[in-house]
Amino acid sequence: MLLNTIKPASGAKHAKRRVGRGIGSGMGKTAGRGHKGQKSRAGGYHKVGFEGGQMPLQRRLPKRGFKSLTLKYNAEVSLADLQLLAVDEIDVPTLKQAGLIGARAKVVKVIKSGELTRKVMLKGVGATAGAKAVIEAAGGLVA
């Protein structure tokens, strides 16, 4: 086999349709564009979402709310959850293993919900001001 003898499989390649090249081609005169109208003209078409002058759907609907794309990487843990946890040193992998946060969570914050009576040490986990005060009052540490 030589490089100059290689050919694609038969039927794999076919000639591009040449429109507007005479009546004998089967695609002459209007070249498959129909008769008149904006879509038959060169360079004539509407912008995306255009509805012929009617107010487009994306402008008729009200603007409402906002959903952060980074929200799926954030997680919350309550003080009550930490109370039930068996370990004293708490970090993100520990919380994932316990099933308290999702697998995709990257940023974790402890919120002041419930009570905490035992000493815990947070590593790489944030806490709200109220939660931090409760943790430190119980003899814990937020690192």
23 phi and psi, to 5 degrees?
Answer: -65, -30
Task: Give the three-state DSSP class for 69.
Answer: coil
Q: Which of 77, 69, 85 is nearest to 109 (CA)?
A: 77
pTM of the model: 0.56
Q: What is the pLDDT of residues 79-88, one digit of tens each?
A: 999 999 999 9
From the CB of residue 85, how many other CB atoms can be counted at a distance below 10 Å?
A: 15
Q: What is the pLDDT of residues 101-120, one digit of tens each?
A: 999 999 999 999 999 999 99
Instruction: Kindly state the helix (H) or strand (E) to which residue 55 belongs, with its residue range.
Output: none
With bands split at pLDDT 50, 70 and 90, how would you rate the model's confidence at 143?
Answer: confident
Q: How far is CA 12 from the centre of its chain?
A: 37
